[in-house]
Structure 1
Amino acid sequence: MYKKAVRFLSLLCSIVVVTSSISTINTISAKSHKETYSNWSDYGGSADSMQYSAIKQINKSNVGQLKLAWFMPAPGPVGRFSFNPLVVDGVMYVVGKDMGIYALDGETGKQIWVHEVKGGQPTNRGFNWWSSKDGRDRRLIFAVDGYMQELDLKTGLPIESFGDHGKVNLREGLGRDPASIGEIQNGTPGRVFDNLIILGSAPGEMYGSPPGDLRAYDVLTGNIVWTFHTVPHPGEFGYDTMPPDAWKYVGGNNTWGEISIDEERGIAYFPLGSPTYDLYGADRKGADLFGDCLLALDARTGKRLWHFQLVHHDLWDYDPTAAPKLLTVRHDGTMTDVVALAGKTGFLYVFDRVTGKPLWPIEERAVPKSDMPDEESWPTQPFPTAPQPFARQQFTVKDINPYLDSIEKERIHDLVTNARNEGIFTPVTDKGNQISVPGEFGGVNQGSTAADPSTGMMYVKAYDLPTIHAMTKTPPIKAKSVTGGTPEQRGYGLYTKNCIGCHGPNRERITFPKQIDVNRFTTVLRSGNGEMPAFSETTLKPEDVTFLAAYLTDPVAGEAAAVASVRKASAPAGPAPEGQTRYYGPFGNIFRTNNGLPAFSPPWSSIVAYDLNDGSIKWRRPIGTTPGLAEKGITDTGSSLAIRNGPVVTAGGLIIIGTGPDRMVHALDKDTGRTLWETELDANPDGIPAIYEAGGNEYIAFYASVDGKPQSVSYKPGKAGTQGYYVFSLSRAPSTSH
């Protein structure tokens, strides 16, 4: 039925180039590093997402003198993941107390203005800004509850002429009923290019989720300028890689991670995630473009230039999310502009930036076949021959965590031995457990990579965190279907909407006492809990928390009446193939032990330094510690928490990075990885640090959050009231609080 899709394999194994567009792009010389990387007025520091600073006032010789210059508390949860400050002309823009948007003096932290946010939480990893050529019109761009909005950068007042009375509904224009779309707003802010704001999205990856179309909007009017269908429509390239009607019901294929732009050439690079449903693909037989692709588009028109699919027919949630890095390296004696992308697979993929040709061969190799009913897994997957992987890709009994007692080691040994466990690309199964290595929290994630444009070096924060899955026929129940009944029943509906994806239909990854302290439970939900996001009152109202606590205290009472009454009404959207049973899997289940440690042997997180001039690894080292083990003198483990954050590299010879749950900020020698300075905060530093200059001084800013997880071997919760923005410099500035 899908012969065209099979014939398409040869195209997927190589790069597809639109030659008419490429022919118009000329070789260019990059801007000077000092000009391009001397501020932090873009997410990640620059439009090419380099996570690099050319400022070198703070360097190897004096980094040990860093002091806390000022601190701004942000009492409420800032969002699912933490915030990367934006700094324009010495003014810092952040999300702060009560989800408000704040403009702060970059030298002192003094408040300049605040904009009260209504209806939800704003874009939670960073902002965009735009300026007219004469500088008179300057705008801050963000989204709240799926509506893109703009503020006057100087005053914080809304731009009412933008969109419909100041708002653009991001749920419109996706080919689905906007009323049926729940989440769409992305936590990552997108990119401004010329007079366009280019956005990805976060529609979710469940059955019925909308597609993650890439879109560009006019910054002045809010009108859509172009759309790229990431699930191809009839007549579009890639349409034959899915069933004929898939474009009507398959969603996902979205960029929820980081976009990079070659501003001189006008090329935008998008890492695209997996299609729905991300662990079972019987209704999307085929290679599934543009899922799990690195996609290059003309930034002005949205026209496809080239793509490379990193994972065919994804069954592992292996969506690439880290930013593509745009470097110039010496390859085979020639200076070559490249784009390098690290993946959850543990591979680093490197391509010619213009043509899309791999710098080193990428081979299609046979992988294990799925045994799930109706599933047709893709027979091969791409394996780069160089550089070497940065994460481990198999889990044997020799890899079991050595810091466990004998009983727990035996239990983990049985799980590893009896699970379907054939290394990377082992398909999920309905016949027991499956182990995924590196797993969807392994490899890299949002913010995990930085690069040095002056040397061709790339630094990867790598995670070795396998996951374990057990597929089920039990579908989730929509919370809106359980609007009445007992508190336990209403809590069951809330659980299936907000929690089942990570904690499973049988609550297999969650443990609570018989009687839950609602106040403590509320603190955990509002602050986040390890890999669990923070839930604002917009998502979970106070009464919802009470219902959820009631269900978790007595799940049997919650499920008994609710299942029969709402199961049919809650059937997921999108047609299923005739005679097929839907399968579901709790995803995000890091394979942990009974004391909270990963089942895998350490190190669990490392920094890996690649020289992309020759594809070699120059050094690697664990980064971070595990508090309970560190107290025993065991400090070579790396962080056991999959924080979605990453490093910044500087012209001063440093790598700056935060780790949790040990609450540490580190400065490393970029040439050797040696620790030059570190300090402990009262909260867990998260996200990407911002490095900027104000008043003649260089500053390093971190957002840090208080983790509400109970004390365990793995975690070191933050102190109450210490969540917010920590800003360091060599000279102490007046300390402020608000």
Structure 2
Amino acid sequence: MRLWIAGIAVFAALCAGPAFAWEHWGGDAGGTRFSSHGQITPGNAPRLIEAWTFHTGDLVARTPQQIRRSKFEATPLFVEDSLIFCTPFNEVIALDPATGRARWRYDPGVPADLRPGNRWVCRGVTHWRDARATAGAACASRIVMGTNDARVVALDAKTGQPCSDFGKAGEVKLDPGAPLEYAGEFQVTSPPVVARDVMVVGSSFADNRRVDAPRGIVRAFDVRTGGARWTFDPLIRDGIEAGHANVWAPMTVDAERGLVFLPTSSPSPDFFGGKRPGDNKHANSVVALKIETGELAWTFQTVHHDVWDYDVPAQPTLARIDSGTGSRDVVIQATKMGFVFVLDRETGQPVWPVEERPVPQSGAPGESLSPTQPFPTHLPSLVPQQLDRTKPFGLTFWDRDACGEQLRMGRYDGLCTPPSTEGSVVFPMTGGGVNWGGVAYDPVRQILIANTSRAAHRITLIPRAQAQNYKPPSGADFGPQRGAPFAMTRALVASPFGMPCNPPPWGAMVAVDLKAGKVLWESSVGTTEDIAPLGLALNTGTPLVSGVLATAGGVIFTGAMDAYLRAFDAGSGKELWQGRLPVPGIANPMTYMLNGEQYVVIGAGGHSEAGTSIGDSIVAFRVPRDGEAPSLWSLYVDRPGGRLRAGAIVGGVMLATLMLTAVQILRRRRMGRAEAR
């Protein structure tokens, strides 16, 4: 029965349109991250093997300083019979999809000493074909990319050569619109989008530096010439003091309607809004613009007057759903709070009711909080909304007690607890819920699948008089927020071992039936193997900022903060397979068909902000061919639970060692107290 249902799903997906190709960062122009390829199924997924691995060479070619501040978040495109992606340093590389060998590469020469505010990162490139160009003409098919030093470059997709007719020698330099504190304060981290011959580019800024930060201008250009078309400032200012509200996350386009959908960020500074009273529209919003003119079509705000860094981090996903009253074209927007808003694509109105509910008040002196925030009523939150501070997590009683102290410190009034000088616990954390990886939507099963993170931050406001020479605690971020009465620190509420203090799972994949408005299943994703002391592998899940890949074969793929690509059953959420990677793959996986074989590919280069090891790999997997088979070791160890079983004895010894160490520390402390008496 199960195979029969899967066969119907595959047939329906294949009949829905032409053969799928991964031509956009989110799979298709709507960012659904769903592939109609169905060769890989729950039946054969446990047998997947590595097809090839490609190394960019960054570990050798880049400076140690660059490597220590890099994040490999790129998703390759499958266009012009090549896999094309960007490295964190904006080198564009085209690979042979059968072998993983490089066909061409282009380095735009971003200065090595730039020090980008949001680290070295490039989430992907964009492909565009010129319908007017003569077949075979140079740059008739082109790749466009934003860079860490705020340029847009255009390359011939077949050769990697700069397009001489675009801007100046193939590039356009973006004007920040205001003086920068340093060159790396302004960068582009997500791919542009293109429709109706217009290319739209967002931007990323170093956060929490100052009130008078640069504006988060969205810019549009002629994709052929690089000529400016229009600009849009998301934030309605009306005399308020604030900057940014920029679009750093990936955008989406509806070419038929001529709309571009922007996920906007919070105004600056993030954690104090006393100088920007009101809702701060159109920050923290889904904004629909007419792509040819930049004219506002509609907007929907997900957070009013944000002081939690709850910006809109995920690509808006375009889908056609059965809402219960008929089929509708919608925009699906997931948030850091774990909410999912479903909006009518024409009007921006919620498909299901959204309520304004009271939230905690009494912010810092001079603050002007919104009395209410929008809450979806039909769809459940993808993450818990409350933190039980009486239930800390720990590997031993020692670190559990330390976590208990951490959780009890400072203010916590539930969701939307405002930042404070005594320190406020913010849960979900500022990087919680759904992040830049976005969601996947299976149009056959009418199911949304998302990776989520569950952990807490402590946000502390530092009065200006104390901020001048303030030294933040170890592991905490510091933001001067110049021009505001407070600086700020932000730190993960974590144990002495660096693990989140709230109970796991710290990362989970969630499947939701949109029409029914219910969670179908939830699965923990990732272990502590590559992040815990001594490599102890605990099935806690890891924070998940990257997204998932859904396929017509009924298999979901994702990476995590440990070094494995995983496959899950789309129907049950059961983990089917683990494929070992050189380092963690904190990027969105993709898939393609070649010579009758389905490949699944992920960038495995680690993530400096997550504290993982750093690498420079793209890794591909496929079903074994005749005569090929996984090794006996991988069949045992790399199957779900296999490594946990294989490492049970080692893990037990490690845990016993940790407990004995904790006991010895406590004994020494007691002896010290006795001697003091």
Letter in 1 for 2:381: P
The letter for the 1-side match of 2:227 is N
- Once the two structures are superposed, residues 316-342 of structure 1 have per-residue CA deviations (whole angstroms, 9 ceiling, x without a partner) of 000111122222222233112221111
Amino acid at match of 2:101: K
> Could you report, residue by residue, the CA deviation over 1:460-481 in whole angstroms, capped at 9, with x for unpaired residues?
1111111111111359999xxx
Q: d(CA) in 1 for partners of 2:19 and 2:460?
A: 46
Q: SS state of the match for residue 609, structure 1?
A: strand
1:307 and 2:307 matched: no
Query: What is the aligned length?
Result: 590
Q: CA deviation at 1:359?
A: 2.1
Report whether the alignment pairs 1:268 with 2:171.
no
How far 1:227 moved relative to its partner?
1.5
Q: Report how far residue 293 of structure 1 moved.
A: 0.7
CA deviation vs aligned residue, 1:398-428 (integer Å, no higher than 9, x gap):
3411x34334333332333341101110000
Structure 2 residue aligned with 1:141? 144
Map of 2:219 onto structure 1: 215
TM-score by length of 1: 0.74
Q: State how far apart, in whole Å, the 1-side matches of 2:492 and 2:15 are.
A: 40
CA offset at residue 307 of structure 1? Answer: 1.2
For the 8 Å contact 1:149–1:166, the answer to whether it is kept is yes
- The aligned amino acid for 1:583 is F
1:614-653 alignment, distance < 5 Å:
614-627=516-529, 635-639=538-542, 642-653=543-554
Tell me, yes or no, if structure 1 residue 185 matches structure 2 residue 183. no
Higher strand proportion: 2
Matched residue, 1:470: 460
SS class of match (1:414): helix
Partner Cα distance (2:86, 2:262) in 1: 26
Counterpart amino acid of 2:604?
Answer: A
The aligned counterpart of 1:194 is: 196
Whether 2:591 is the aligned partner of 1:691: answer yes
The one-letter amino acid of 1:128's match is T
> For 1:92-113, what per-residue CA distance to the aligned partner results, in whole angstroms no more than 9, with x for missing partners?
1123597532211111112211
Distance in 1 separating the partners of 2:141 and 2:364: 54
Corresponding residue of 1:537? none
Residues 1:725 and 2:618 aligned together: yes
* Separation of aligned partners in 2, 1:283 and 1:454: 48
Amino acid at match of 2:540: T
Aligned residue number for residue 658 of structure 1: 559
Residues 74/53 of structure 1: CA separation in 2 closer, same or farther (3 Å cut): same
Q: What residue number does 2:239 align with?
A: 245
Matched, 1:507 2:499: no
Q: Whole-Å Cα distance in 2 between the matches of residues 701 and 203 of structure 1?
A: 30
8 Å CA contact retained: 1:69, 1:732:
no
Is the contact made by 1:193 and 1:299 (CA closer than 8 Å) also made in structure 2? yes
Shifted more, 327-336 versus 308-317: the winner is 327-336
Change (3 A) 1:636 1:111: closer
Q: 1:33 to 1:200 in 2, by over 3 A?
A: farther
Q: CA deviation at 1:218?
A: 0.6
Q: Cα offset for 1:183?
A: 3.0
**2:39 alignment partner in structure 1:** 57
Say if 1:441 and 1:590, in contact at 8 Å, map to a contact too: no
Classify 1:70/1:357 alpha carbon distance in 2 versus 1 (closer, same or farther; 3 Å). same
1:182: how far off?
4.5
The 2-side partners of 1:177 and 1:415 are apart by 40
**1:42 is the counterpart of 2:24:** yes
Please say if residues 69 and 729 of structure 1, whose CA atoms lie closer than 8 Å, have aligned partners that are also in contact: yes
The yes-or-no answer on 1:169 pairing with 2:161 is no
Equivalent residue for 1:156? Answer: 160
CA distance in 1: counterparts of 2:17 and 2:80, whole angstroms: 14
**In the alignment, which residue of structure 1 is the partner of 2:49?**
67
* Letter in structure 2 aligned against 1:142: M
How far apart are the structure 2 equivalents of 1:663 and 1:62?
A: 22
Structure 2 Cα separation of the partners of residues 192 and 164 of structure 1: 20
Q: Displacement of 1:629 after TM fit? A: 7.5
The answer to whether the aligner puts 1:318 opposite 2:310 as a matched pair is yes
| 1:255–1:271 CA contact under 8 A, matched in 2 | yes
Task: Report how far residue 632 of structure 1 moved.
Answer: 10
Write out per-residue CA displacement over residues 592-613 of structure 1, whole angstroms, 9 at most, x where no aligned residue. 1110110110011111101112
Q: Could you say what secondary structure the match of 2:390 adopts?
A: helix
> Could you give the per-residue CA deviations for residues 346-388 of structure 1, whole angstroms, max 9, x where no partner exists?
2111122222221221111111113312111111111111211
1:394 Cα deviation from its structure 2 partner: 2.0
1:95 partnered with 2:86? yes
Deviation, 1:651, is 0.7
Q: Does 1:593 align with 2:495?
A: yes
**Which residue number in structure 1 is paired with residue 650 of structure 2?**
none
Counterpart Cα distance in 1 of 2:180 and 2:128: 28
From the superposition, tell whether residues 108 and 177 of structure 1 become closer, same or farther in structure 2 (CA, over 3 Å): same
Tell me the alpha carbon deviations over residues 466-522 of structure 1, each in whole angstroms, 9 at most, x when there is no partner.
1111111359999xxxxxxxxxxxxx9xxxxxxxxxxxx5231339xxxxxxxxxxx
| Post-superposition offset of 1:682 | 2.3
- Cα distance in 1 between the residues matched to 2:569 and 2:235: 44
Whole-Å separation in 2 of the counterparts to 1:74 and 1:475:
47
The residue identity in structure 1 corresponding to 2:191 is P
2:374 is aligned with what amino acid?
A: P
Quote the offset at 1:290 in angstroms: 1.1
CA contact (8 A) 2:146 2:201 kept: no
Specify which of 586, 591, 604 is matched with residue 704 of structure 1.
Answer: 604
Unaligned runs of 5+ in 1: 1-29, 233-238, 479-491, 493-504, 512-531, 533-569
Q: 1:668 aligns with which of 549, 553, 568?
A: 568
Tell whether the 8 Å contact from 1:55 to 1:650 is kept in structure 2 after alignment: yes
Please report the RMSD computed on the Cα atoms of aligned residues, expressed in angstroms.
Answer: 3.1
Structure 2 counterpart of 1:654, one-letter code: V
1:405 & 1:572 partners in 2: Cα distance?
A: 38
Counterpart contact for 1:107–1:694, Cα < 8 Å:
yes
1:444 paired to 2:434: yes
- SS of residue paired to 1:416: helix
Deviations 1:645-694 (A, max 9, x none): 1110001111011111x211111111111122222222111211121123
Residues 95, 153 of structure 1: CA spacing in aligned structure 2 closer, same or farther, 3 A cutoff?
Answer: same
Matches of 2:625 and 2:467 in 1, distance apart?
A: 54
Conserved in 1, the CA contact under 8 Å of 2:528 and 2:535?
A: no
Partner amino acid, structure 1, of 2:463 = K
Structure 2 residue runs without a partner (length 5+): 1-11, 59-66, 113-119, 629-677
- Which has the larger displacement, 145-154 or 597-606? 145-154
Structure 1 residues 378 and 708: CA distance shift in structure 2, 3 A: closer
Q: Quick one: percent identity of the two aligned structures?
A: 29
Q: CA deviation at 1:635?
A: 4.5
Are the equivalent residues in 2 in contact too, given 1:37–1:45 (CA < 8 A)?
no
Deviation at 1:125, TM superposition (A): 0.8
Which TM-score applies when normalising by structure 2? Answer: 0.81
- AA at the equivalent of 1:614: A
Question: Partner of 1:308: helix, strand, or coil?
Answer: strand
Q: 2:350 aligns with which of 344, 358, 378?
A: 358
Change in CA separation of 1:33 and 1:272 when aligned onto 2, cut-off 3 Å: farther
Q: For the residues of structure 1 that align with 2:292 and 2:28, how far apart are their CA atoms?
A: 19
Which amino acid in structure 2 is aligned with residue 219 of structure 1? V
Q: In structure 2, how many angstroms separate the alpha carbons of the residues matched to 1:98 and 1:422? A: 42
Q: CA deviation at 1:633?
A: 9.1
Q: What amino acid is aligned across from residue 619 of structure 2 in structure 1?
A: Y
Matches within 5 A, 1:299-698: 299-401=291-393, 403-430=394-421, 432-474=422-464, 505-510=470-475, 576=483, 582-587=485-490, 589-627=491-529, 635-639=538-542, 642-660=543-561, 662-698=562-598
- The answer to which of 379-388 and 622-631 deviates more is 622-631
The alignment partner of 1:471 has SS state of strand
1:112 is matched by which residue type in structure 2? R
SS at match of 2:401: helix
